[in-house]
Structure 1
Amino acid sequence: MPRLPHPTPEELRRDPLPLRGRTALVTGASRRGGIGHAVARRLAAYGASVYLHHHVPHDAAQPWGADRPEDVLASVRGALGDPEARVVTGPGDLTEPAAPAELIATAADALGGRLDILVANHALSGGDGTLDEIDAAMLDAHWAVDTRSVLLLVQAFARQRVGVSGGRIMMMTSGQDIAGGMPGEIAYALQKGALASVTRSLSTTLAEQGITVNTVNPGPVDTDYLTGEVYEAVAARFPAGRWGMPDDPARLIAWLATDEAGWITGQVIDSEGGFRR
Protein backbone atom coordinates (compact mmCIF):
# COMPACT_ATOMS: atom_id res chain seq x y z
CA MET A 1 0.00 0.00 0.00
CA PRO A 2 1.45 3.42 -0.95
CA ARG A 3 2.16 5.87 1.84
CA LEU A 4 -0.22 8.78 2.14
CA PRO A 5 1.33 12.08 1.06
CA HIS A 6 1.98 14.86 3.53
CA PRO A 7 -0.90 17.34 3.79
CA THR A 8 -0.64 20.34 1.53
CA PRO A 9 -0.17 23.76 3.12
CA GLU A 10 -3.81 24.50 2.33
CA GLU A 11 -4.90 21.32 4.11
CA LEU A 12 -2.88 22.27 7.16
CA ARG A 13 -4.67 25.59 7.52
CA ARG A 14 -7.60 24.96 9.83
CA ASP A 15 -11.04 25.79 8.51
CA PRO A 16 -12.67 28.22 10.98
CA LEU A 17 -15.96 26.40 10.33
CA PRO A 18 -14.90 22.74 10.25
CA LEU A 19 -18.48 21.50 10.78
CA ARG A 20 -20.12 23.66 8.12
CA GLY A 21 -22.96 21.75 6.47
CA ARG A 22 -23.11 19.04 9.13
CA THR A 23 -25.90 18.25 11.54
CA ALA A 24 -25.79 17.27 15.19
CA LEU A 25 -28.07 16.03 17.95
CA VAL A 26 -27.05 16.95 21.50
CA THR A 27 -29.08 15.27 24.22
CA GLY A 28 -29.53 16.73 27.68
CA ALA A 29 -29.13 20.32 26.47
CA SER A 30 -31.68 21.62 28.94
CA ARG A 31 -29.77 24.22 30.95
CA ARG A 32 -27.43 27.05 30.09
CA GLY A 33 -25.27 25.97 33.01
CA GLY A 34 -24.84 22.43 31.67
CA ILE A 35 -22.33 20.61 29.50
CA GLY A 36 -24.92 19.90 26.77
CA HIS A 37 -25.51 23.61 26.23
CA ALA A 38 -21.76 24.28 26.05
CA VAL A 39 -21.26 21.46 23.53
CA ALA A 40 -24.13 22.71 21.38
CA ARG A 41 -22.68 26.24 21.34
CA ARG A 42 -19.28 24.91 20.26
CA LEU A 43 -20.78 22.77 17.49
CA ALA A 44 -22.85 25.72 16.29
CA ALA A 45 -19.82 28.01 16.38
CA TYR A 46 -17.97 25.48 14.19
CA GLY A 47 -20.73 25.72 11.58
CA ALA A 48 -23.03 22.80 12.41
CA SER A 49 -26.81 22.81 12.54
CA VAL A 50 -27.86 21.50 15.96
CA TYR A 51 -30.93 19.85 17.47
CA LEU A 52 -31.17 20.42 21.22
CA HIS A 53 -32.92 17.68 23.15
CA HIS A 54 -34.38 18.58 26.53
CA HIS A 55 -36.44 16.97 29.28
CA VAL A 56 -37.51 19.90 31.45
CA PRO A 57 -39.34 17.82 34.11
CA HIS A 58 -36.06 16.18 35.10
CA ASP A 59 -34.23 19.46 35.73
CA ALA A 60 -37.26 21.08 37.32
CA ALA A 61 -37.16 18.37 39.99
CA GLN A 62 -33.49 19.03 40.80
CA PRO A 63 -32.08 21.69 43.16
CA TRP A 64 -30.68 23.69 40.24
CA GLY A 65 -34.04 23.94 38.47
CA ALA A 66 -34.85 24.15 34.77
CA ASP A 67 -34.26 26.77 32.10
CA ARG A 68 -36.85 27.68 29.52
CA PRO A 69 -36.07 25.79 26.27
CA GLU A 70 -36.43 29.03 24.30
CA ASP A 71 -33.68 30.63 26.40
CA VAL A 72 -31.29 27.75 25.74
CA LEU A 73 -32.23 27.89 22.06
CA ALA A 74 -31.50 31.61 21.85
CA SER A 75 -28.11 31.16 23.49
CA VAL A 76 -27.03 28.48 21.03
CA ARG A 77 -28.36 30.43 18.06
CA GLY A 78 -26.27 33.36 19.22
CA ALA A 79 -23.14 31.24 18.72
CA LEU A 80 -23.89 30.19 15.12
CA GLY A 81 -20.84 30.45 12.92
CA ASP A 82 -22.67 29.74 9.68
CA PRO A 83 -25.68 32.00 9.03
CA GLU A 84 -27.28 29.23 6.98
CA ALA A 85 -27.13 26.72 9.85
CA ARG A 86 -30.14 26.04 12.04
CA VAL A 87 -30.75 25.37 15.71
CA VAL A 88 -33.91 23.52 16.75
CA THR A 89 -35.07 22.29 20.14
CA GLY A 90 -37.49 19.62 21.23
CA PRO A 91 -38.47 17.44 24.20
CA GLY A 92 -37.96 13.77 24.80
CA ASP A 93 -38.45 11.44 27.77
CA LEU A 94 -35.68 8.91 27.23
CA THR A 95 -37.01 6.59 29.91
CA GLU A 96 -39.46 5.38 27.25
CA PRO A 97 -38.04 2.50 25.16
CA ALA A 98 -39.26 3.93 21.84
CA ALA A 99 -38.09 7.48 22.56
CA PRO A 100 -34.45 7.19 21.35
CA ALA A 101 -35.36 6.08 17.82
CA GLU A 102 -38.14 8.66 17.68
CA LEU A 103 -35.73 11.39 18.78
CA ILE A 104 -33.17 10.47 16.10
CA ALA A 105 -35.89 10.53 13.42
CA THR A 106 -37.31 13.85 14.65
CA ALA A 107 -33.90 15.51 14.84
CA ALA A 108 -32.88 14.24 11.41
CA ASP A 109 -36.12 15.48 9.83
CA ALA A 110 -35.76 18.88 11.51
CA LEU A 111 -32.22 19.32 10.18
CA GLY A 112 -32.73 18.24 6.60
CA GLY A 113 -33.07 14.47 6.66
CA ARG A 114 -29.88 13.19 8.27
CA LEU A 115 -27.69 13.41 11.36
CA ASP A 116 -23.89 13.45 11.15
CA ILE A 117 -23.04 13.85 14.83
CA LEU A 118 -24.55 12.37 18.00
CA VAL A 119 -23.55 13.67 21.44
CA ALA A 120 -25.29 11.55 24.08
CA ASN A 121 -24.89 13.91 27.02
CA HIS A 122 -28.04 13.24 29.06
CA ALA A 123 -28.03 11.40 32.40
CA LEU A 124 -30.30 10.77 35.36
CA SER A 125 -29.58 12.82 38.49
CA GLY A 126 -30.75 11.77 41.94
CA GLY A 127 -32.27 8.48 43.06
CA ASP A 128 -28.94 6.83 43.92
CA GLY A 129 -26.89 5.79 46.93
CA THR A 130 -24.26 3.55 48.45
CA LEU A 131 -24.15 -0.21 48.06
CA ASP A 132 -26.24 -0.54 51.21
CA GLU A 133 -28.80 2.03 50.06
CA ILE A 134 -29.50 1.13 46.44
CA ASP A 135 -32.45 -0.99 45.39
CA ALA A 136 -33.80 -2.51 42.20
CA ALA A 137 -35.82 0.57 41.29
CA MET A 138 -32.74 2.81 41.48
CA LEU A 139 -30.72 0.41 39.35
CA ASP A 140 -33.48 0.09 36.76
CA ALA A 141 -34.02 3.85 36.53
CA HIS A 142 -30.35 4.56 35.92
CA TRP A 143 -30.07 1.69 33.46
CA ALA A 144 -33.01 2.99 31.41
CA VAL A 145 -31.71 6.55 31.13
CA ASP A 146 -27.94 6.38 31.43
CA THR A 147 -27.26 3.25 29.38
CA ARG A 148 -30.20 1.70 27.55
CA SER A 149 -31.32 4.95 25.95
CA VAL A 150 -27.75 5.75 24.86
CA LEU A 151 -27.31 2.38 23.17
CA LEU A 152 -30.67 2.76 21.42
CA LEU A 153 -29.68 6.25 20.26
CA VAL A 154 -26.45 4.84 18.83
CA GLN A 155 -28.39 2.06 17.11
CA ALA A 156 -30.88 4.47 15.53
CA PHE A 157 -28.12 6.90 14.54
CA ALA A 158 -26.21 4.14 12.74
CA ARG A 159 -29.35 2.89 10.99
CA GLN A 160 -30.15 6.32 9.56
CA ARG A 161 -26.62 6.51 8.14
CA VAL A 162 -26.69 3.21 6.24
CA GLY A 163 -25.26 3.95 2.80
CA VAL A 164 -23.61 7.17 4.00
CA SER A 165 -19.96 6.95 5.02
CA GLY A 166 -18.78 8.78 8.09
CA GLY A 167 -20.28 10.07 11.30
CA ARG A 168 -19.33 10.90 14.86
CA ILE A 169 -20.67 9.55 18.15
CA MET A 170 -19.60 10.88 21.53
CA MET A 171 -20.87 9.37 24.77
CA MET A 172 -20.29 10.63 28.31
CA THR A 173 -18.95 8.73 31.26
CA SER A 174 -17.69 9.79 34.70
CA GLY A 175 -14.88 9.03 37.17
CA GLN A 176 -16.10 5.56 38.08
CA ASP A 177 -12.96 3.81 36.82
CA ILE A 178 -10.44 6.19 38.40
CA ALA A 179 -8.90 5.94 41.87
CA GLY A 180 -11.56 6.05 44.55
CA GLY A 181 -14.46 5.42 42.20
CA MET A 182 -17.92 6.70 43.12
CA PRO A 183 -18.98 4.72 46.22
CA GLY A 184 -21.86 7.09 46.98
CA GLU A 185 -23.42 6.75 43.52
CA ILE A 186 -23.35 3.04 42.79
CA ALA A 187 -26.22 2.96 40.27
CA TYR A 188 -24.86 5.89 38.28
CA ALA A 189 -21.28 4.57 38.38
CA LEU A 190 -22.43 1.14 37.21
CA GLN A 191 -24.26 2.46 34.17
CA LYS A 192 -21.57 4.97 33.21
CA GLY A 193 -19.01 2.20 33.55
CA ALA A 194 -21.02 0.15 31.10
CA LEU A 195 -20.74 2.93 28.50
CA ALA A 196 -17.00 3.16 28.98
CA SER A 197 -16.71 -0.62 28.63
CA VAL A 198 -18.79 -0.85 25.46
CA THR A 199 -17.00 2.01 23.66
CA ARG A 200 -14.47 -0.27 21.95
CA SER A 201 -17.15 -2.76 20.89
CA LEU A 202 -19.29 -0.03 19.36
CA SER A 203 -16.36 1.54 17.55
CA THR A 204 -15.44 -1.82 16.01
CA THR A 205 -19.06 -2.47 15.06
CA LEU A 206 -19.43 0.87 13.29
CA ALA A 207 -15.98 1.10 11.70
CA GLU A 208 -17.24 -0.23 8.37
CA GLN A 209 -19.66 2.71 8.20
CA GLY A 210 -16.83 5.13 8.91
CA ILE A 211 -18.47 6.18 12.19
CA THR A 212 -16.11 6.96 15.06
CA VAL A 213 -17.22 6.29 18.64
CA ASN A 214 -15.52 7.89 21.63
CA THR A 215 -16.49 8.47 25.25
CA VAL A 216 -15.47 11.51 27.30
CA ASN A 217 -15.02 11.72 31.06
CA PRO A 218 -15.32 15.46 31.80
CA GLY A 219 -14.25 15.17 35.45
CA PRO A 220 -15.74 17.53 38.04
CA VAL A 221 -17.47 20.32 36.13
CA ASP A 222 -19.14 23.37 37.63
CA THR A 223 -22.71 22.99 36.44
CA ASP A 224 -24.22 24.94 39.35
CA TYR A 225 -24.83 21.94 41.58
CA LEU A 226 -22.37 22.66 44.39
CA THR A 227 -21.32 25.67 46.49
CA GLY A 228 -19.60 26.53 49.75
CA GLU A 229 -16.70 24.78 51.46
CA VAL A 230 -17.05 21.56 49.49
CA TYR A 231 -16.91 23.54 46.23
CA GLU A 232 -13.69 25.24 47.35
CA ALA A 233 -12.17 21.95 48.49
CA VAL A 234 -12.78 20.41 45.07
CA ALA A 235 -11.34 23.46 43.31
CA ALA A 236 -8.14 23.13 45.35
CA ARG A 237 -7.60 19.65 43.90
CA PHE A 238 -7.10 21.03 40.41
CA PRO A 239 -3.60 22.32 39.56
CA ALA A 240 -5.26 25.41 38.05
CA GLY A 241 -7.11 26.05 41.32
CA ARG A 242 -10.52 26.03 39.65
CA TRP A 243 -13.23 23.59 38.66
CA GLY A 244 -13.67 22.47 35.10
CA MET A 245 -16.20 24.66 33.33
CA PRO A 246 -18.75 23.31 30.82
CA ASP A 247 -16.77 24.67 27.88
CA ASP A 248 -13.69 22.66 28.91
CA PRO A 249 -15.09 19.26 27.85
CA ALA A 250 -17.12 20.98 25.13
CA ARG A 251 -13.92 21.96 23.31
CA LEU A 252 -12.77 18.34 23.28
CA ILE A 253 -16.13 17.00 22.16
CA ALA A 254 -16.42 19.57 19.36
CA TRP A 255 -12.93 18.66 18.15
CA LEU A 256 -13.84 14.96 18.15
CA ALA A 257 -16.71 15.87 15.82
CA THR A 258 -14.34 17.34 13.20
CA ASP A 259 -12.35 15.67 10.45
CA GLU A 260 -9.18 16.35 12.45
CA ALA A 261 -10.26 13.60 14.86
CA GLY A 262 -11.04 11.06 12.16
CA TRP A 263 -8.26 8.75 13.36
CA ILE A 264 -9.55 8.69 16.96
CA THR A 265 -12.08 5.98 17.78
CA GLY A 266 -12.81 3.46 20.51
CA GLN A 267 -11.29 5.70 23.18
CA VAL A 268 -12.38 6.75 26.66
CA ILE A 269 -10.78 10.17 27.08
CA ASP A 270 -10.36 11.96 30.40
CA SER A 271 -10.72 15.75 30.29
CA GLU A 272 -10.05 16.52 33.94
CA GLY A 273 -7.46 19.32 34.02
CA GLY A 274 -5.09 17.23 36.16
CA PHE A 275 -7.66 16.71 38.93
CA ARG A 276 -6.04 15.03 41.94
CA ARG A 277 -8.29 12.36 43.42
Structure 2
Amino acid sequence: MNKLQGKIAIVTGVSREGGIGAAICRALANEGASLFFTHLCEYDQEVYPRSVDEHWPDIFAQELRKMGVQAAHMKLDLAQSGSAADLLAEVQKTLGLPTILVNNATYSVDADFRQLNESLIDAHCAVNIRGTFMLSAEFSRLLEAEMKNIGSSHTLGGRIINMTSGQGKSPMPGNLAYAATKGAISVFTESLAAELAPLHITVNAVDPGPTDTGWMTEEIKKALLPQFPMGRIGVPEDVAKLITFLASDDSEWITGEIIHSRGGFS
Protein backbone atom coordinates (compact mmCIF):
# COMPACT_ATOMS: atom_id res chain seq x y z
CA MET A 1 0.00 0.00 0.00
CA ASN A 2 2.74 2.48 -0.90
CA LYS A 3 2.28 3.39 -4.56
CA LEU A 4 2.25 7.08 -3.60
CA GLN A 5 4.92 6.93 -0.91
CA GLY A 6 6.77 10.24 -0.68
CA LYS A 7 4.26 12.09 -2.88
CA ILE A 8 2.43 15.23 -1.82
CA ALA A 9 -1.14 15.68 -3.00
CA ILE A 10 -3.50 18.65 -2.97
CA VAL A 11 -7.22 17.95 -2.75
CA THR A 12 -9.62 20.89 -2.86
CA GLY A 13 -13.16 20.98 -1.52
CA VAL A 14 -12.79 18.78 1.58
CA SER A 15 -15.23 20.20 4.11
CA ARG A 16 -17.13 17.29 5.62
CA GLU A 17 -16.97 13.69 6.69
CA GLY A 18 -19.14 12.05 4.03
CA GLY A 19 -17.95 13.95 0.97
CA ILE A 20 -16.02 12.77 -2.06
CA GLY A 21 -13.06 14.94 -1.05
CA ALA A 22 -12.63 13.13 2.28
CA ALA A 23 -12.80 9.74 0.57
CA ILE A 24 -10.13 10.85 -1.93
CA CYS A 25 -7.83 12.01 0.88
CA ARG A 26 -8.20 8.71 2.74
CA ALA A 27 -7.53 6.67 -0.39
CA LEU A 28 -4.42 8.68 -1.30
CA ALA A 29 -3.11 8.54 2.27
CA ASN A 30 -3.67 4.80 2.30
CA GLU A 31 -1.14 4.59 -0.54
CA GLY A 32 1.38 6.73 1.32
CA ALA A 33 0.72 10.23 -0.03
CA SER A 34 0.89 13.23 2.27
CA LEU A 35 -2.17 15.46 1.99
CA PHE A 36 -2.89 19.14 1.85
CA PHE A 37 -6.63 19.73 1.62
CA THR A 38 -8.74 22.84 1.38
CA HIS A 39 -12.18 23.51 2.77
CA LEU A 40 -14.91 26.13 2.79
CA CYS A 41 -17.33 24.96 5.44
CA GLU A 42 -19.66 27.94 4.99
CA TYR A 43 -20.58 26.75 1.50
CA ASP A 44 -21.17 23.15 2.56
CA GLN A 45 -23.18 24.35 5.55
CA GLU A 46 -25.76 25.80 3.17
CA VAL A 47 -26.13 22.51 1.29
CA TYR A 48 -25.58 20.00 4.13
CA PRO A 49 -26.61 21.93 7.29
CA ARG A 50 -26.62 18.86 9.53
CA SER A 51 -23.30 17.34 8.48
CA VAL A 52 -20.81 20.21 8.58
CA ASP A 53 -18.68 20.94 11.65
CA GLU A 54 -16.29 23.89 11.45
CA HIS A 55 -13.83 21.94 13.63
CA TRP A 56 -13.94 18.87 11.39
CA PRO A 57 -10.93 19.81 9.17
CA ASP A 58 -8.64 19.68 12.21
CA ILE A 59 -10.13 16.35 13.29
CA PHE A 60 -9.75 14.97 9.78
CA ALA A 61 -6.12 16.07 9.50
CA GLN A 62 -5.41 14.14 12.71
CA GLU A 63 -7.11 11.09 11.23
CA LEU A 64 -4.86 11.26 8.17
CA ARG A 65 -1.73 11.65 10.30
CA LYS A 66 -2.66 8.48 12.17
CA MET A 67 -2.38 6.72 8.79
CA GLY A 68 1.31 7.54 8.84
CA VAL A 69 1.37 10.51 6.46
CA GLN A 70 1.74 14.25 6.84
CA ALA A 71 -1.44 16.30 6.59
CA ALA A 72 -2.21 20.02 6.56
CA HIS A 73 -5.17 22.13 5.47
CA MET A 74 -6.44 25.65 4.97
CA LYS A 75 -9.70 27.47 4.39
CA LEU A 76 -9.82 28.53 0.75
CA ASP A 77 -12.37 30.21 -1.47
CA LEU A 78 -11.30 29.57 -5.06
CA ALA A 79 -13.53 32.42 -6.17
CA GLN A 80 -11.06 34.87 -4.62
CA SER A 81 -8.39 36.36 -6.87
CA GLY A 82 -4.93 34.97 -6.13
CA SER A 83 -6.26 31.94 -4.24
CA ALA A 84 -4.33 29.46 -6.40
CA ALA A 85 -0.97 31.10 -5.76
CA ASP A 86 -1.77 31.43 -2.04
CA LEU A 87 -2.59 27.73 -1.82
CA LEU A 88 0.57 26.55 -3.57
CA ALA A 89 2.75 28.81 -1.45
CA GLU A 90 1.20 27.37 1.73
CA VAL A 91 1.61 23.77 0.53
CA GLN A 92 5.29 24.27 -0.22
CA LYS A 93 5.84 25.98 3.13
CA THR A 94 4.16 23.27 5.19
CA LEU A 95 4.70 20.00 3.27
CA GLY A 96 6.95 20.56 0.27
CA LEU A 97 6.56 20.28 -3.50
CA PRO A 98 3.17 18.85 -4.56
CA THR A 99 3.03 16.62 -7.65
CA ILE A 100 -0.63 15.57 -7.45
CA LEU A 101 -3.57 17.96 -7.78
CA VAL A 102 -7.21 16.90 -7.43
CA ASN A 103 -9.59 19.71 -8.36
CA ASN A 104 -12.57 18.52 -6.36
CA ALA A 105 -14.01 21.85 -5.15
CA THR A 106 -17.15 22.91 -6.95
CA TYR A 107 -19.98 25.40 -6.83
CA SER A 108 -23.50 24.26 -7.63
CA VAL A 109 -26.88 25.93 -7.27
CA ASP A 110 -29.85 24.55 -9.17
CA ALA A 111 -31.29 27.05 -11.65
CA ASP A 112 -33.41 26.73 -14.76
CA PHE A 113 -33.79 29.42 -17.44
CA ARG A 114 -36.32 31.31 -15.32
CA GLN A 115 -33.97 31.52 -12.34
CA LEU A 116 -30.69 32.09 -14.15
CA ASN A 117 -29.10 35.48 -13.55
CA GLU A 118 -25.73 37.19 -13.91
CA SER A 119 -24.59 36.76 -10.32
CA LEU A 120 -25.40 33.05 -10.37
CA ILE A 121 -23.45 32.56 -13.60
CA ASP A 122 -20.51 34.54 -12.21
CA ALA A 123 -20.46 32.49 -9.00
CA HIS A 124 -20.30 29.21 -10.94
CA CYS A 125 -17.62 30.51 -13.30
CA ALA A 126 -15.48 31.89 -10.48
CA VAL A 127 -15.04 28.50 -8.80
CA ASN A 128 -15.68 25.84 -11.43
CA ILE A 129 -13.90 27.53 -14.34
CA ARG A 130 -11.51 30.21 -13.11
CA GLY A 131 -10.64 28.40 -9.88
CA THR A 132 -9.93 25.08 -11.61
CA PHE A 133 -8.12 26.67 -14.54
CA MET A 134 -5.85 28.92 -12.48
CA LEU A 135 -4.94 26.29 -9.91
CA SER A 136 -4.09 23.84 -12.70
CA ALA A 137 -1.99 26.45 -14.49
CA GLU A 138 -0.15 27.61 -11.35
CA PHE A 139 0.51 23.99 -10.35
CA SER A 140 1.89 23.21 -13.81
CA ARG A 141 4.12 26.27 -13.83
CA LEU A 142 5.46 25.28 -10.43
CA LEU A 143 6.40 21.80 -11.65
CA GLU A 144 7.91 23.17 -14.87
CA ALA A 145 10.12 25.54 -12.88
CA GLU A 146 11.20 22.73 -10.56
CA MET A 147 12.12 20.54 -13.53
CA LYS A 148 14.29 23.31 -14.91
CA ASN A 149 16.01 23.64 -11.55
CA ILE A 150 16.85 19.96 -11.23
CA GLY A 151 17.92 19.56 -14.88
CA SER A 152 16.36 18.22 -18.05
CA SER A 153 17.75 14.72 -17.49
CA HIS A 154 15.39 14.22 -14.55
CA THR A 155 11.69 13.62 -15.16
CA LEU A 156 9.60 14.89 -12.27
CA GLY A 157 6.14 14.32 -13.72
CA GLY A 158 2.83 15.21 -12.16
CA ARG A 159 -0.87 14.43 -12.05
CA ILE A 160 -3.87 16.72 -12.43
CA ILE A 161 -7.28 15.14 -11.88
CA ASN A 162 -10.41 17.21 -12.42
CA MET A 163 -13.98 16.41 -11.45
CA THR A 164 -16.77 16.65 -13.97
CA SER A 165 -20.41 15.59 -13.89
CA GLY A 166 -21.35 13.66 -16.98
CA GLN A 167 -22.90 16.70 -18.60
CA GLY A 168 -21.77 15.33 -21.96
CA LYS A 169 -23.72 12.10 -21.47
CA SER A 170 -27.18 13.69 -21.29
CA PRO A 171 -28.86 17.07 -20.70
CA MET A 172 -29.02 18.46 -17.16
CA PRO A 173 -32.14 20.66 -17.16
CA GLY A 174 -32.60 22.78 -14.08
CA ASN A 175 -28.86 23.00 -13.50
CA LEU A 176 -27.76 25.16 -16.41
CA ALA A 177 -24.81 27.11 -14.99
CA TYR A 178 -23.36 24.07 -13.25
CA ALA A 179 -23.64 21.85 -16.33
CA ALA A 180 -22.09 24.49 -18.59
CA THR A 181 -19.14 25.19 -16.29
CA LYS A 182 -18.46 21.50 -15.78
CA GLY A 183 -18.53 21.12 -19.56
CA ALA A 184 -15.82 23.77 -19.76
CA ILE A 185 -13.68 21.69 -17.40
CA SER A 186 -13.91 18.72 -19.77
CA VAL A 187 -12.71 20.80 -22.73
CA PHE A 188 -9.97 22.36 -20.61
CA THR A 189 -8.81 18.92 -19.48
CA GLU A 190 -8.33 17.66 -23.02
CA SER A 191 -6.44 20.74 -24.23
CA LEU A 192 -4.27 21.14 -21.13
CA ALA A 193 -3.31 17.46 -21.35
CA ALA A 194 -1.83 18.06 -24.81
CA GLU A 195 0.15 21.05 -23.56
CA LEU A 196 1.54 19.29 -20.50
CA ALA A 197 2.35 15.90 -22.04
CA PRO A 198 5.94 16.94 -22.89
CA LEU A 199 6.42 17.71 -19.19
CA HIS A 200 5.11 14.25 -18.23
CA ILE A 201 2.20 15.85 -16.39
CA THR A 202 -1.00 13.94 -17.06
CA VAL A 203 -4.41 15.63 -16.97
CA ASN A 204 -7.63 13.65 -16.71
CA ALA A 205 -11.19 14.21 -15.52
CA VAL A 206 -13.51 11.87 -13.68
CA ASP A 207 -17.31 11.77 -13.79
CA PRO A 208 -18.49 9.79 -10.73
CA GLY A 209 -22.18 9.86 -11.63
CA PRO A 210 -24.80 10.30 -8.89
CA THR A 211 -22.95 9.67 -5.63
CA ASP A 212 -24.50 9.35 -2.19
CA THR A 213 -22.60 11.99 -0.22
CA GLY A 214 -25.51 12.92 2.01
CA TRP A 215 -27.62 14.99 -0.35
CA MET A 216 -29.89 12.14 -1.47
CA THR A 217 -33.28 11.74 0.17
CA GLU A 218 -34.86 8.30 0.34
CA GLU A 219 -37.16 9.36 -2.49
CA ILE A 220 -34.20 10.30 -4.69
CA LYS A 221 -32.44 7.03 -3.91
CA LYS A 222 -35.56 5.06 -4.80
CA ALA A 223 -35.87 6.90 -8.11
CA LEU A 224 -32.19 6.50 -9.04
CA LEU A 225 -31.63 2.90 -8.00
CA PRO A 226 -33.30 1.29 -11.07
CA GLN A 227 -30.84 3.22 -13.29
CA PHE A 228 -27.85 1.50 -11.67
CA PRO A 229 -27.54 -1.98 -13.25
CA MET A 230 -25.16 -3.09 -10.48
CA GLY A 231 -27.98 -2.79 -7.98
CA ARG A 232 -26.62 -0.05 -5.77
CA ILE A 233 -25.98 3.69 -5.78
CA GLY A 234 -22.43 5.03 -6.05
CA VAL A 235 -20.53 5.99 -2.90
CA PRO A 236 -17.54 8.33 -2.47
CA GLU A 237 -15.11 5.43 -2.11
CA ASP A 238 -15.90 4.33 -5.68
CA VAL A 239 -14.51 7.47 -7.28
CA ALA A 240 -11.68 7.69 -4.72
CA LYS A 241 -10.29 4.36 -5.92
CA LEU A 242 -10.16 5.56 -9.52
CA ILE A 243 -8.54 8.86 -8.59
CA THR A 244 -5.90 7.02 -6.57
CA PHE A 245 -5.04 4.98 -9.66
CA LEU A 246 -4.86 8.12 -11.82
CA ALA A 247 -2.53 9.69 -9.24
CA SER A 248 -0.13 6.76 -9.37
CA ASP A 249 2.69 5.86 -11.75
CA ASP A 250 0.49 3.06 -13.12
CA SER A 251 -1.52 5.70 -15.02
CA GLU A 252 1.44 7.42 -16.71
CA TRP A 253 0.13 6.56 -20.21
CA ILE A 254 -3.37 7.91 -19.57
CA THR A 255 -3.95 11.60 -20.26
CA GLY A 256 -6.60 13.83 -21.79
CA GLU A 257 -9.38 11.41 -20.85
CA ILE A 258 -12.84 12.07 -19.42
CA ILE A 259 -13.54 8.87 -17.51
CA HIS A 260 -17.15 8.04 -16.71
CA SER A 261 -17.03 5.90 -13.58
CA ARG A 262 -20.76 5.54 -12.99
CA GLY A 263 -21.38 1.86 -12.34
CA GLY A 264 -23.30 1.63 -15.60
CA PHE A 265 -25.69 4.40 -14.58
CA SER A 266 -27.81 5.69 -17.44
Structure 1 and Structure 2 fold alike (TM over 0.5): yes
Does the Cα contact within 8 Å between 1:37 and 1:76 map onto a contact in 2? Answer: no
Does the Cα contact within 8 Å between 2:209 and 2:261 map onto a contact in 1? Answer: yes
Task: Give secondary structure in 2 for the equivalent of 1:160.
Answer: helix
CA distance in 2, matches of 1:95, 1:203: 24
Does the Cα contact within 8 Å between 2:48 and 2:214 map onto a contact in 1? Answer: no
Q: Which residue pairs with 2:94 in the alignment?
A: 110
Q: Which amino acid counterpart does residue 87 of structure 1 have in structure 2?
A: A
Q: Which amino acid counterpart does residue 110 of structure 1 have in structure 2?
A: T
Q: Extract unaligned runs of 5+ from structure 1.
A: 1-15
Does the Cα contact within 8 Å between 1:124 and 1:146 map onto a contact in 2? Answer: yes
Deviations 1:61-97 (A, max 9, x none): 223442321232233334x2xx3x3011211111101
CA distance in 2, matches of 1:99, 1:132: 32
**1:173 counterpart = 2:168:** no
Q: Which residue pairs with 1:142 in the alignment?
A: 124
Does the Cα contact within 8 Å between 1:203 and 1:212 map onto a contact in 2? Answer: yes
TM-score by length of 1: 0.88
Q: Extract unaligned runs of 5+ from structure 2.
A: 148-155
CA distance in 2, matches of 1:75, 1:241: 32
Does the Cα contact within 8 Å between 1:175 and 1:182 map onto a contact in 2? Answer: no
Displacement of 1:153 in angstroms is 0.4
CA distance in 2, matches of 1:228, 1:108: 43
Displacement of 1:132 in angstroms is 2.6
Q: Which amino acid counterpart does residue 62 of structure 2 have in structure 1?
A: A
Identify which of 84, 91, 102 aligns with 2:75.
Answer: 91
CA distance in 2, matches of 1:54, 1:159: 23
Displacement of 1:272 in angstroms is 0.1
Does the Cα contact within 8 Å between 1:130 and 1:184 map onto a contact in 2? Answer: yes
Q: Which amino acid counterpart does residue 176 of structure 1 have in structure 2?
A: Q
Q: Which residue pairs with 1:74 in the alignment?
A: 62
Deviations 1:33-86 (A, max 9, x none): 1101000001000000000111111112223442321232233334x2xx3x30
Q: Which residue pairs with 1:34 in the alignment?
A: 19
Q: Which residue pairs with 1:125 in the alignment?
A: 108
CA distance in 2, matches of 1:105, 1:209: 21
Deviations 1:168-199 (A, max 9, x none): 000000021112x2111000000000001111
Q: Which amino acid counterpart does residue 90 of structure 2 have in structure 1?
A: T
Count of residue correspondences: 254
